[in-house]
């Protein structure tokens, strides 16, 4: 089964005024149809950059290397015309901040019809019916299509954005902080809506959020990003409730668990700030903030290891920490598979072999 989305060794470097900023450093992701993958991480971890890179929406002058295979086709090598066709028809985006992603001087019906007209997928006289259809699908009455964005509430606007994302029946939806500015009730409604749509139509969804609890509730699998790399990836429940990487556990512990007084009484934060991507520390980038750092962490940049692998060395879950490495400790890193070859200063992360293994074990 070819996966819907396969990101291999993605590197994104912004060229800013003060020099190059490597925002994403070697990310591997894969997503199957009907699957939801959550990407978590704090601000500046590169999660939105990954989302924008998928459709090459980054500002001009940004360097992107690696492979982004959307249904087997490399987005990074597409011609401009093909790229425009793939945008929205192949993969669509629900942007963060629906407040500003709608044009204030056009009616929402016209804006939902916009991708249909741009891609000429529906005959002009059928557009009205299709728009009504889409609005009903996201739980808005079709009569609201004559409204302007300012006549809608925040949740309704986000529904409009989702209707717009669904317009061309894409295979993949990228939800970039889709529920961030909404209150909790609306957030729950929007999440339920997204979940229902994914279930009904078998599309894949890449959900980006800083809110681990949102991802745990919605996604099948979760990837935790830190400083432009994935530090842990696996089934949502396992990653959120028994994280293997110290950063993932800090992120998870930052949310009090309802019904567990202990977690309320002993809140744990994470001291310090994420590293400046332009001057990342040597070895493991999380080392300066890590509570369980060892001396070896200063020199070894660990690749994604399988967590609690079975007899064949496979696992649904991977974490990039020396404590997770073969044998569970740093002392045996060098004796493990080609671990020592991949660790060290190379920030490229796991090689292609590991990516293939990732693909095999993802389902």
Which of 24, 27, 39, 102 lies at the binding interface for other proteins (CB under 8 A)?
102
- Using CB under 8 A, pick the residue from 64, 148, 336, 348 that binds other proteins: 148
Could you tell me how far CA 67 lies from the centroid of its own chain? 16
Smallest separation, CB 203 to other proteins (Å): 16
The answer to whether 89 contacts other proteins (rule: CB under 8 A) is yes
Tell me if 320 sits within 8 A of 231, measured CB to CB: yes
Cα distance between residue 316 and residue 296, in whole Å? 26
> Out of 164, 208, 214, 230, which residue is the one contacting other proteins (CB under 8 A)?
164
Minimum distance between the CB of residue 137 and other proteins, rounded to whole angstroms? 17
To other proteins, the closest distance from the beta carbon of 83 in angstroms equals 8
Q: By CB under 8 A, is residue 97 in contact with other proteins?
A: yes
The number of C-alpha atoms within 13 Å of 297 and in the hemisphere containing its C-beta is 19
> Which runs of consecutive H residues, i.e. helices, occur in the chain?
47-54, 80-89, 108-119, 127-137, 154-166, 184-201, 212-218, 236-241, 246-253, 261-265, 339-342, 352-361
Please, what is the minimum distance in Å from the beta carbon of residue 85 to other proteins? 7
Asked if 101 interacts with other proteins (CB under 8 A), we say yes
SS3 content of the chain, % helix, strand, coil (to 5): 40, 20, 40
Q: In what order do the strands lie in the sheet containing 221-226?
A: 91-94, 172-176, 204-208, 36-40, 221-226, 229-235, 318-319, 305-306
Q: Does residue 128 touch other proteins according to CB under 8 A?
A: yes
CB of residue 113 to other proteins, shortest distance in Å: 11
Q: Is 144 in the site for other proteins (CB under 8 A)?
A: no
Scanning 82-90, 234-242, 249-257, 296-304 for contacts with other proteins by CB under 8 A, the matching segment is 82-90
78 binds other proteins (CB under 8 A): no
Up-side HSE of residue 49: CA atoms within 13 Å toward CB? Answer: 28
Closer to other proteins by CB, 130 or 337: give it. Answer: 130
Of 88, 226, 247, 286, which one interacts with other proteins (CB under 8 A)? 88
Residue number, 45 or 111, with CB nearest to other proteins = 111
> Which member of 2, 15, 65, 103 binds other proteins (CB under 8 A)?
103
**340 forms part of the interface with other proteins (CB under 8 A):** no
Strands 172-176 and 204-208: parallel
> Which residue of 129, 192, 291, 341 would you call a contact of other proteins, by CB under 8 A?
129
**Rounded alpha-carbon distances, angstroms, from residue 212 to 165, 208, 252, 253:** 23, 10, 7, 10
Which residues contribute to the site for other proteins (CB under 8 A)?
55, 57, 60, 84-89, 92-93, 95, 97, 100-106, 114-115, 118-119, 125-129, 146, 148, 150, 164, 168
């Amino acid at each position: 089964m070819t996966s819907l989305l396969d990101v291999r060794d993605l590197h994104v470097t912004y060229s800013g005024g003060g020099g190059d900023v490597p925002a994403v450093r070697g990310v591997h992701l894969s997503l199957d149809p009907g699957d939801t993958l959550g990407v978590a991480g704090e601000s500046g971890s590169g999660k939105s950059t990954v989302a924008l890179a998928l459709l090459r929406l980054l500002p001009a002058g940004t360097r992107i290397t690696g492979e982004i295979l959307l249904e087997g086709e490399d987005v990074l090598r597409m011609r401009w015309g093909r790229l425009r066709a793939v945008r929205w028809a192949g993969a669509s985006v629900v942007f963060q901040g629906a407040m500003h992603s709608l044009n204030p001087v056009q009616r929402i019906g016209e804006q939902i019809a916009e991708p249909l007209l741009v891609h000429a997928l529906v005959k002009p006289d059928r557009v009205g019916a299709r728009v009504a259809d889409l609005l009903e699908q996201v739980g808005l009455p079709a009569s609201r299509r004559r409204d302007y964005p300012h006549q809608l509430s925040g949740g309704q606007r986000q529904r409009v954005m989702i209707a717009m994302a669904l317009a061309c029946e894409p295979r993949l939806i990228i939800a970039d902080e889709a529920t961030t500015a909404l209150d909790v009730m609306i957030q729950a409604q929007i999440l339920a809506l997204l979940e229902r749509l994914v279930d009904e139509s078998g599309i894949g969804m890449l959900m980006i959020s800083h809110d681990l609890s949102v991802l745990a509730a919605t996604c099948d699998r979760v990837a935790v990003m830190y400083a432009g790399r994935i530090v842990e990836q696996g089934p949502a429940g396992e990653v959120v409730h028994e994280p293997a990487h110290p950063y993932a556990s800090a992120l998870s512990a930052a949310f009090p668990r309802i019904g567990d007084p202990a977690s309320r009484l002993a809140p744990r934060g994470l001291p310090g700030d994420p590293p400046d991507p332009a001057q990342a520390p040597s070895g493991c980038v999380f080392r300066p903030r890590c509570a369980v750092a060892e001396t070896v962490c200063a020199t070894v940049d660990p690749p994604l290891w399988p967590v609690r692998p079975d007899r064949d060395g496979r696992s649904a879950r991977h974490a990039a920490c020396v404590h997770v490495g073969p044998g569970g400790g740093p002392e045996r890193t060098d004796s493990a598979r080609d671990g020592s070859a991949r660790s060290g200063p190379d920030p490229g992360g796991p090689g292609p072999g590991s990516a293939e293994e990732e693909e095999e074990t993802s389902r």
